[in-house]
Amino acid sequence: MFSKACKYAIRAVLYLAVHSSPENKVGVKAIAEDLQVPKHFLAKILQQLSRDQLISSVKGPNGGFYMADENLNVPMEKIIKSFDGMEVFTSCILGLPVCSAENPCPLHVQAFAYREGLYYQLQHQSIREMADRVKLQELKL
């Protein structure tokens, strides 16, 4: 479904949403260890998230990554779009050139409803809401 980079990104953002704040920043190393993800690869991912303003960061001593308030209000969808693009939600599951209701592929009925459902959820759920659920239900990242 999603690329590894995208999966790591989702986990990292939720991790930051749960474990960081503007007063309490977290470094790549800590995140990588906690999530059990390749450190340098994660670093690049965090950089991209930062460039896209999905997370915040400051350099230097006591620096690190964190979620600012405005970061928490964006929908989950944005993370995925940043890494895998809109295609994961729009491109045909069978790899046909175009996905349209007029020219549906054979898996249309099966696949369409589910993909749309997932997309809807990711569009309408903010990182904050999702992170709250993670905290409340003690979900593992």
Give residues in contact with its own copies (CB under 8 A). Answer: 1-2, 4, 7-8, 10-11, 14, 93-96, 103-111, 113-115, 117-118, 121-122, 125, 130, 133-134, 137, 139-141
Instruction: Find which of ligand SF4, its own copies, DNA, none residue 10 binds, CB within 5 to 8 Å per kind.
Output: its own copies
Query: Which member of 112, 118, 126, 134 binds ligand SF4 (CB under 6 A)?
Result: 112
3-class DSSP assignment, residue 10: helix
Binding flag, residue 88, DNA (CB under 7 A): no
30-46 burial, b at 16+ Cβ within 10 Å, e below that, comes to ebbeeeebeeeebbebb
Binding flag, residue 108, ligand SF4 (CB under 6 A): yes
Residue pair 75/123 in contact by the 8 Å Cβ criterion: yes
Binding flag, residue 90, DNA (CB under 7 A): no
Residue labelled with tokens 């995140």: 31
Backbone phi, psi, residue 65, to 5°? -105, 150
